[in-house]
């Protein structure tokens, strides 16, 4: 019996591996499990290799997990292309297509002896039971249902629904293929049973299945976003697709622009016209949007700009996750600019972060960047029901009747936030401009006014740095060992912390969801008494570590644990580093007590 299973599957494009993954997570949600589904593809538009990882658990899951418990290879060439994304270890059950002709004792997995290797005539079973090899994925689902005891009824119901449109014959064929898989599994028990424990009955209610991009777009609609302008770019396009389907229903508009600049340009215009507006892109698009972000900063116009990060620079690896646009998000600006940057840590968290991004944008009249990443944006998660009523939606500060009598768009106030009018509002007429302007909006080249306005635009954001609710801290408060992580890596690091603490390591973790401006005091409090630790992130430079070094007294023993994208960081490897850190601290202590003669 297990309570947590990680399955990795790979095949070529037409094998339906990814749709098998979709079927698994749907069945899992209906049966009350917590699950993650990550998909990974080769660069080909159609065909080529495709894979997915499904993690199923009776407890909430925070990452896609480490080494696979069950690996499914429809052919070895495609499977091996995913390398470290589908790691096979000594405890892995490998299920593979027997037609590959590879003997079980000679799998092409150098340096690894799996727990067991089972060659199954998957294609043959599909052909025999469904009359077509296309049903290979139904056989695989049957095998997994049989061996793991997961979702037999839900999977069958899913197959019926999926193939219903294609006629009774196709449905029957796939049901037969599924049943053959189940029978095969029953007739060939595993070396040790891997049956997944049943989920708690209460968990079956109301679970959602959603990926980060859809969650982001839905949250934007919830927050009152009425305009989306954007340009297709992997891996953020699904946000635009969602708006194209949904926004009209809520009285809003979507514009697929001619380029990234026009996409954010239209958003700047919509915001000027008084509407909440958003754009979404990935790294190269962010570079193109940068001038417009500067305009929104100086014109003090609210907008939300999502950057779903991928491997960079330039085209980089568009289909793989990385956290290497943090420096760009914080610092790519001409002039003195502070621009809020928020990062979700999971699909579920993407809801709150997106609503927060709109709230910050509207309250402080500033562009806000949401730094998501490919992992979160395209990963499907089971999400427990979210009580949307618990989220406040903030509207921009409009001028009152009396303020409109002698309206000053950029009026000096204690908070630095001035009432904002919009075209159509009588008496609110003003000139918005990228040129420096005085309180009334009139263009100026005065150094004095420029300094005053810079001060206003920068310091109006100060309250953000006291937003402790945008920081998650867990673990032992006084621990000498600290972890910091963000974005999709936060979940992995959280799992590492749990494992480490079970081993008796005293450690704590800080997860910033507000990355910029840097909340200096919150970090200072967290690092007090810390002797060593890791800043865990998916970038070569260790960009968060670098940013923190600019603003915060990071203890000398805290080092970056940073790797380029597409090289997964596993909870186990973080724990291993923590062990080394603890050993180092112990040696140091010994050396202090007994100085070497």
Partner 1 sequence: MSTITRPVEEYQAKDYKSDLKPIWCPACGDYGVVQAIYRALANVGRPPHQIAFVSGIGCSSRIPGYTTAYGFNSVHGRALPIAQGIKLANPDLLVLVAGGDGDGFSIGGGHVAHAVRRNVDITYIVMDNQIYGLTKGQLSPTSPRGLKTPSSAWGSLEAPVNPLLYVLGYGASFVAQGTPADMQGLSAVIEEAIRFPGFAFVNVQSPCVTYGQEDQQLKAHKTTMQPLSSLGHDPSDRLKAMALASEYGRKLYTGVLYRNPDPPPTFEAEARRRQEETKAQARPKDRILEMFRPQ
528's CB contacts (< 8 A; 6+ apart) are: none
Nearest approach, Cβ of residue 159 and partner 1 (Å): 14
CA nearest neighbour of 6 among 91, 122, 82: 91
Identify which of residues 110 and 251 has a Cβ nearer to partner 1 in the complex: 251
Nearest approach, Cβ of residue 95 and partner 1 (Å): 25
Identify which of residues 11 and 265 has a Cβ nearer to partner 1 in the complex: 265
Q: Which two tokens mark 363?
A: 């309250």
Helix (H) or strand (E) holding 160: helix 152-163
Identify which of residues 258 and 448 has a Cβ nearer to partner 1 in the complex: 258
Nearest approach, Cβ of residue 441 and partner 1 (Å): 8
8 A C-beta contact, residue 164 and residue 171: yes
Nearest approach, Cβ of residue 20 and partner 1 (Å): 16
Identify which of residues 366 and 485 has a Cβ nearer to partner 1 in the complex: 366
Nearest approach, Cβ of residue 531 and partner 1 (Å): 43
Helix (H) or strand (E) holding 331: helix 326-331
Nearest approach, Cβ of residue 227 and partner 1 (Å): 5
What number of residues does the chain have? 597
Backbone φ and ψ of 195, nearest 5°:
-60, 130
Nearest approach, Cβ of residue 481 and partner 1 (Å): 38
Burial of residue 329 (CB within 10 Å: 0-12, 13-18, 19+) is buried
Peptide bond into 235 cis (omega under 30): yes
Identify which of residues 249 and 502 has a Cβ nearer to partner 1 in the complex: 249
For 62-100, the DSSP string reads -SS-SS-SEEEES-HHHHHHTGGGS---TTPEEEEEGGG
User: To which residue do tokens 């996750």 refer?
Assistant: 321
Q: Which two tokens mark 330?
A: 């914080």
Backbone φ and ψ of 512, nearest 5°:
-80, 130
Helix (H) or strand (E) holding 36: strand 34-41
Helix (H) or strand (E) holding 283: helix 283-298
Nearest approach, Cβ of residue 390 and partner 1 (Å): 10
State the DSSP code for 570.
P
CB-facing half-sphere around the CA of 230: CA atoms within 13 A: 32
Identify which of residues 90 and 385 has a Cβ nearer to partner 1 in the complex: 385
Identify which of residues 254 and 574 has a Cβ nearer to partner 1 in the complex: 254
Burial of residue 312 (CB within 10 Å: 0-12, 13-18, 19+) is buried
Nearest approach, Cβ of residue 260 and partner 1 (Å): 10
Nearest approach, Cβ of residue 370 and partner 1 (Å): 18
Query: Taking phi first (over 0 means left), then psi (-120 to 50 degrees means alpha), and beta for anything else, what does residue 352 get?
Result: alpha
Nearest approach, Cβ of residue 223 and partner 1 (Å): 9
Nearest approach, Cβ of residue 150 and partner 1 (Å): 15
Distance from the Cα of residue 287 to its chain's centroid: 21
Residue 460 CA to residue 302 CA, distance in Å, equals 13
Peptide bond into 487 cis (omega under 30): no
Residue 56 CA to residue 442 CA, distance in Å, equals 60
> Which residues are 443's β-sheet partners?
437
């Amino acid at each position: 019996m297990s309570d947590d299973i990680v399955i990795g599957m790979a095949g070529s494009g037409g094998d339906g591996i990814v749709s098998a993954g979709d079927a698994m997570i749907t069945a899992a949600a209906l049966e009350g499990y917590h699950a993650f589904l990550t998909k990974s593809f080769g660069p080909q538009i159609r065909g080529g290799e495709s894979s997915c990882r499904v993690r199923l658990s009776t407890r909430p899951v925070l990452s896609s997990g480490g080494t696979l418990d069950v690996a499914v290879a429809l052919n070895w060439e495609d499977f091996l292309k995913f390398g470290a994304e589908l790691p096979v270890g000594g405890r892995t059950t490998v299920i593979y297509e027997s037609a590959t002709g590879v003997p079980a004792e000679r799998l092409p997995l150098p340096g690894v002896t799996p727990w067991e290797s089972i060659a199954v005539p998957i294609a043959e079973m599909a052909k025999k039971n469904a009359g077509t090899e296309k049903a290979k994925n139904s056989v695989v689902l049957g095998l997994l249902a049989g061996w793991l005891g997961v979702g037999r009824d839900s999977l069958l119901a899913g197959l019926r629904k999926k193939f219903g449109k294609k006629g009774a014959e196709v449905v029957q064929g796939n049901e037969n293929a599924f049943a053959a898989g189940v029978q095969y599994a029953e007739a060939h028990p595993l070396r040790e049973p891997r049956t997944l424990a049943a989920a708690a009955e209460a968990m079956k209610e109301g679970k959602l299945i959603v990926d980060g991009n859809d969650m982001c777009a839905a949250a934007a609609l919830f927050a009152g976003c009425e305009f989306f302008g954007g340009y297709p770019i992997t891996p953020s396009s699904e946000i635009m697709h969602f708006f194209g389907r949904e926004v009209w229903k809520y009285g809003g508009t979507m514009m697929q622009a001619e380029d990234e600049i026009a996409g954010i340009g239209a958003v700047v215009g919509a915001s000027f016209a008084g509407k909440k507006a958003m754009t979404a892109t990935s790294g190269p698009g962010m570079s193109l949007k940068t001038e417009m972000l500067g305009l929104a900063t100086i014109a003090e116009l609210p907008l939300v700009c999502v950057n779903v990060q991928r491997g960079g620079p330039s085209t980089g690896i568009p289909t793989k996750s990385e956290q290497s646009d943090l420096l760009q998000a914080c610092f790519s600006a001409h002039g003195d600019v502070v621009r809020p940057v928020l990062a979700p840590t999971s699909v579920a968290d993407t809801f709150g972060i997106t609503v927060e991004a709109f709230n910050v944008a509207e309250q402080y009249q500033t562009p806000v960047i949401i730094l998501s990443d490919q992992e979160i944006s395209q990963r499907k998660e089971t999400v427990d029901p979210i009580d949307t009523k618990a989220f406040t939606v903030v509207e921009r500060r409009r001028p009152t009747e009396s303020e409109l009598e002698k309206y000053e768009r950029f009026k000096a106030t204690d908070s630095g936030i001035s009432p904002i009018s919009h075209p159509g509002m009588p008496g609110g007429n003003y000139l918005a401009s990228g040129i420096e302007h005085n309180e009334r909006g009139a263009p100026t080249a005065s150094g004095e006014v420029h300094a005053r306005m810079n001060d206003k635009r920068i310091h109006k954001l100060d309250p953000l740095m006291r937003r402790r609710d945008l920081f998650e801290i867990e673990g032992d408060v006084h621990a000498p060992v600290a972890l910091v992580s963000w974005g999709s890596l936060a979940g992995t690091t959280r799992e590492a912390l749990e494992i480490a603490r079970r081993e008796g390591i005293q450690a704590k973790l800080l997860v910033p969801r507000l990355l910029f401006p840097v909340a200096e005091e919150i970090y200072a409090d967290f690092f007090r008494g810390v002797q060593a630790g890791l800043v865990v992130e998916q970038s070569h430079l260790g960009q968060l570590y670098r940013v923190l070094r600019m603003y915060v007294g990071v203890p000398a023993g805290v080092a970056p644990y940073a790797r380029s994208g597409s090289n997964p960081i596993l909870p186990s490897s973080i724990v291993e580093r923590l062990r080394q850190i603890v050993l180092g601290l112990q040696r140091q202590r010994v050396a202090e007590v007994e100085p070497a003669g």
